[in-house]
Structure 1
Amino acid sequence: MRYLKHFFFILFLFQLNEVFAVKQLEILHADRLTMTERGGQKTRLLEGNVGLKQDDAILYCDKAFFYIDVNRVDAIGNVRVVHNDTTELFADTVFYFGDRRKVEARRNVRIVEGNKVLKTHILDYYLDREVAYYFSGGEFTENTLNLKSESGFINMANEQATFYKNVILIDEGYTIFADTLKYNTRQSQLVFYRNTRIVTDQQVIYCDNGFFNTKTDEGVFGRNTRVVSGHQILESDSLHYNADSGEGISERYFVWTDTIEKIIISGHYGIYNRETEQLMATRKPMMKSVMDNDTLFLTADTLFSGIDTSENRYLIAHRQSRFFKEDLQGFADSLSFSYEDSIIRMMYNPVVWQENTQLSGDTILIMMKNNQLDEVELIRNAFLIEYEGDEVYNQIKGRHIHGYFAEGSLKNMEVTGNAESVYFGKDDNDRYIGVNRVVAAGMSLFFLDNNIERIHFRQSPEAGFYPIGNSHPSEYHLSGFNWRTEYRPLSKADLLNPIVLLKEETEQKEKQPAGGGRERTGVRD
């Protein structure tokens, strides 16, 4: 039994040796064969139509030195190596190491598989792994794709290639510059790393990493992505992009800039289309616009920006839109701005604040001129409230109010249709003694330092002065009075807080007016 075990063990070793044994190169053909010695080794010199074979590899050349003892061939002149009947290697000189199954190709090297071609001058090819490395600069082509780099390797088995240093890829419609680039030829997918630049006729894309499919024209770009398209710039750390349609989706923080209109829109989710120049931003979106040597900040649940039929840019803020500027703040459920007429249109419960003055109406139009406030219109149910302090509010209402600015400050207003006003008088000790109430067809208001200086009433006004007595001025409110500072953003940071939080914070501020007292349907007589 012991001898039988030894027999089977020896048989196993023999079979194992057969499996892993490297076959000797064999000569298929040569016009002349000369026995010689070279470098102290027995050598067969093969000349003319030389052919040698080892397993799945066949070598052709003009002349070869065959070192029998080390199973090696030095092939010279018109060298061609055919591997697996699918891959061909061409070179001026090839050093074929049979025991290591390695091919070292030198000068005018080409390796071809189907429509894929790699050209270089120094290349090492490992037959068993089907991997080719090049080190002295190379050019890879596949159909219309052309790629150059200083070094790289191609895996013929899994159809993947990696290219290093000064990579330049040119294909129909785009050029890619990268430090490192991987290419899966089966899936037509490019993966790039570090300092990548993609240039097309319409735009330039910069990124540190990402991938792109050359068949579908779709890609995902990662860290430090920057898309420059004319005067528009989109920056993000995650951008899904379709180069054919021009649509990009960012699922992380992004910043979009229009350098001509001088606006910046950011958010944590956005959709951008290069062809239509449309942008949708949500998840804490923010717009910044340089205006009157100041910056206007605008937010909403969703921001839209695009180009109208007249090739002018427009902006729409949808749901709970709010804006902040040092001298002007506003709120509305919906807001739009057209760069054609420079008008901000505020709809659905809009309200605007300038210092201690609040303006409201069913619709508010704010007209800009040379990036400065020029006019404001309160359309239907127009209401102006001026806060004097200690819950005292001067009030003016009408069907329509039209205000005019000079150098960013409110200068005069025209009130038309059912005009009413309430403002308070003081004695010499600066104590409130009575309320002036006026009803007229129209009024003209004149402002100084954004405060009402005087009022002119038109068409037989009805006026009355009513002593306050022991009551407080906060009890005298016109119908429709609503002091809405819980919606007022007090800083850029307030814009990103939910309105509920703004209201809670406002109520905690002792110096801020506390919501407007008891509402009454008229003035106390």
Structure 2
Amino acid sequence: MTHRKPRYHLFGLILVFLIPVPAAAQNSVTIIDADILQTSIIDGQTVTRFLDNVILSIDNRTMYADSVYQFAAQNRIQAYNIQIETENEIIWADTLYHNTFTDYSELRGRVVVESDNNRLFSQAMDVSMPRDITFFLSPVRFEDDRGALVAESGLYYQQADSAIFRGNVQLADSTQYLEADSLFMNRSTDLYELFGRVYAQDFEDNVTFKGDYLYADSSGYRLLTGNDAWLLDISESEADTTHLLAKKIELMENDSVSTMDAFENVRIWSNEFSAVGDTANYDNSAERFVLRSNPVLWQKNIQLTGPVIEVEMEDDDIRFLSSHPRPIAVQEDSLTRRLHQMTGDTLHAHFEDGSVERIIVFNNSEIIFHIKDENEEPDGLIELIANGSSTLFFRDGEFDFFKAEENPDGSWLPEDPANVDRKLSNFRWDPGLKPYRPMLQLPRLPQIPDEPLFEFPPRYERYLSEAEDED
């Protein structure tokens, strides 16, 4: 199992849009041009109409529109087919409604906001300047050169530099894909939280997550939770696949630390081994993980059970494992299906090329191993105890012979049905607990379409055409 840092940079989407809002003061609005200027009474209200090729300057912003209607008594301005140019963005919309008293703007129809780095598309966007909040009331799409973020609605709070997106949130670029029911992000602290039906893929590191909640911050800390929070890790060679399931998975990745911890109903499945337990701790730099709270580990036809199991990996294979206190290892003979058993105060197992090479049980060792005759048929068993250590040697992963030290004492029991099921006092054999290979989890939502949310407004089409001609 090789853990590498998942990325959640969200490709620097800029959410600060300076939506132009005319101030109430008369001298803050400058009429640069309009083909027609009319004043009339409509429903008892004085309405000033600027028609055809309207250009206004509002607080260092320039607005172009087909028409602008000013309702002075209601402190309201309506503008149609607009283009607004600011220092950092250009904004297009079919309609702008602005309250000059509350500084509240509503952009409707085909809304486009473009800056040097990204573009925004929506059909309903409100801006409250006093509260520094932008509301996205209909599906919204952000784009930059690397990817896109889409959601059904959202809001951006400029003062806190925070955004919330809700409803089928998706984010995709060349390195990652994320989806969730909602997303909270704070750019200044580099903090991201995804809620509900979370799915995340890191294409560069071949890591996939699925759960109910995902948290990430600038320290390199990641938290994934859910009834069956799921992490899939594919090795760099793509020869080994590891599935990790738990109620809580924590990852820490920075310049000095690379760890992963899993808690509650932990299940691990890989091409080389599988395990269950209540807690798992993995140190990527040392390629070492620890299972706690009476875990069980299976490697081929061997089951190891103990209060604590420590595993050292090398090239995605188990190289060495140890367990204490008083663990028990059981191996099912591949021919006779009899169960070899070994226990002691501490157990060490050494592996070579993915197969067990020898197992050493230290202090107060006990062994039961079943014998075969020259025809590979069952031929009784040997029971052995020793004050010191006992070593069992394996050939091609199968038990071969043993060596015992310090006052060994044993006996041979002939082949007899009464002896077949003899067990050590702490015997455990639980093939029913062994995890199956989990089903591969796939995204819930369809791929983010390349097509825009709507046909572009005329002024934006003209802007794109002129930009293309300049290139």
TM-score range, shorter chain: 0.7 to 0.9
C-alpha offsets along residues 181-210 of structure 1, whole Å, 9 cap, x if unaligned? 61322432223455622779xx97712332
After superposition, the Cα gap between the structure-2 partners of 1:443 and 1:459, relative to the gap in structure 1 and judged at 3 Å, is same
For residues 123 and 287 of structure 1, do their structure 2 counterparts lie closer, same or farther at Cα, with a shift above 3 Å needed? same
Post-superposition shift, 1:470?
Answer: 4.5
The answer for the alignment partner of 2:389 in structure 1 is 442
| Contact 1:335–1:347 under 8 Å retained in 2 | yes
Matched, 1:305 2:246: no
Match for 1:356 among 287, 296, 301? 301
Aligned residue number for residue 125 of structure 1 = 69
Q: Which residue of 1 aligns with 2:400?
A: 453
Report how far residue 480 of structure 1 moved. 1.3
* Structure 1: gaps (5+ residues): 1-80, 496-525
| Mapped partners of 2:24, 2:327: distance in 1 | 86
Deviation at 1:303, TM superposition (A): 0.8
Partner of 2:210: 266
- Report whether the alignment pairs 1:279 with 2:222: yes
C-alpha separation in 1, matches of 2:399 and 2:265: 30
Cα drift, residue 403 of structure 1: 2.3
1:466 CA displacement: 1.9
User: Amino acid of the residue matched to residue 364 of structure 1?
Assistant: I
In the TM superposition, what is the alpha-carbon distance from 1:473 to its structure 2 partner? 1.7
Q: Which has the higher contact order (CA 8 A, sep 6+)?
A: 2
1:401 to 347, 365, 368: 347
Change (3 A) 1:237 1:378: same
Which of 92, 96, 99 is residue 149 of structure 1 equivalent to? Answer: 92
TM-score, normalising length: structure 2: 0.73
For 2:397, the aligned partner's letter is: N
Query: 2:37 aligned with 1:95, yes or no?
Result: yes
The verdict on how the C-alpha distance between 1:415 and 1:232 changes in structure 2, with shifts beyond 3 A counting, is: farther
* 8 Å CA contact 1:351, 1:359 repeated in 2: yes
CA distance in 2, matches of 1:231, 1:494: 20
Distance 2:106 2:398 in 1: 73
Matched, 1:247 2:194: no
Match of 2:264 in 1: 319
Structure 2, unaligned runs of 5 or more: 1-21, 442-471
CA–CA distance in structure 1, aligned partners of residues 417 and 276 of structure 2: 36
Q: How far 1:370 sits from its partner (Å)?
A: 2.5
Q: Please give the secondary structure, in 2, of the residue aligned with 1:253.
A: strand
The secondary structure found in structure 2 opposite 1:381 is coil
More moved, 365-374 vs 219-228: 219-228
Q: Amino acid of the residue matched to residue 356 of structure 2? A: L
CA contact (8 A) 1:166 1:178 kept: yes
Residues 1:84 and 1:432: Cα distance change in structure 2 (over 3 Å): same
CA contact (8 A) 2:307 2:325 kept: yes
- The residue identity in structure 2 corresponding to 1:358 is Q
What amino acid maps onto 2:252 in structure 1? G
On the 8 A contact 2:413/2:419 being kept in 1, the answer is no
Q: Name the residue aligned to 1:463.
A: 410
SS at match of 1:216: coil
Q: How far does the alpha carbon of each residue in 1:241-260 deviate from its partner, in whole angstroms, 9 at most, with x for none?
A: 22232222222111334555
Instruction: Kindly state the Cα deviation for residue 352 of structure 1 after the two structures are TM-superposed.
Output: 0.3
- Cα deviation, 1:337-367, whole Å, max 9, x if unaligned, reads 1111111111121210123210122221222
CA 1:230–1:136: 2 relative to 1, 3 Å: closer
Give me the identity figure in percent.
Answer: 16
Deviation by residue 1:416-463 (Cα, 9 ceiling, x = unmatched):
333221012345787645320122322333334433233333456323
What corresponds to 2:106 in structure 1?
Answer: 161
Residue of structure 2 in register with 1:473 after alignment: 420
Which residue, out of 166, 181, 185, partners 1:222? 166
Q: 1:82 to 1:285 in 2, by over 3 A?
A: closer
Distance in 2, Cα, partners of 1:369 & 1:426: 34
The TM-score normalised by the length of structure 1 is 0.66
How far, CA to CA, are the matches of 2:329 and 2:93 in structure 1? 71
SS at match of 1:293: coil
- Alignment of 1:189 with 2:130, yes or no, is no
Give the Cα separation in 1 of the matches to 2:38 and 2:304: 88
Per-residue displacement from partner, 1:454-488 (whole Å, max 9, x unpaired)? 333345632310235441522x1112112233432
Find the residue that maps to 1:98 and give its secondary structure: strand
Match of 1:290 among 220, 230, 234: 234
Give 1:88's aligned amino acid. Answer: V
* Compared CA separation, residues 460 and 374, structure 1 to 2 (3 A): same
Which residue number corresponds to residue 313 of structure 2?
368
- Aligned-pair Cα RMSD in Å: 3.7
SS at structure 2 position matched to 1:471:
helix
Letter in 2 for 1:473: V
Which residue of the partner structure matches residue 411 of structure 1? 357
Please name the residue that 1:386 is paired with: 331
Cα distance in 2 for partners of 1:410, 1:429 equals: 24
Do residues 339 (structure 1) and 339 (structure 2) align?
Answer: no
Q: Compared with structure 1, are the counterparts of its residues 133 and 346 closer, same or farther at alpha carbon in structure 2 (3 Å cutoff)? A: same
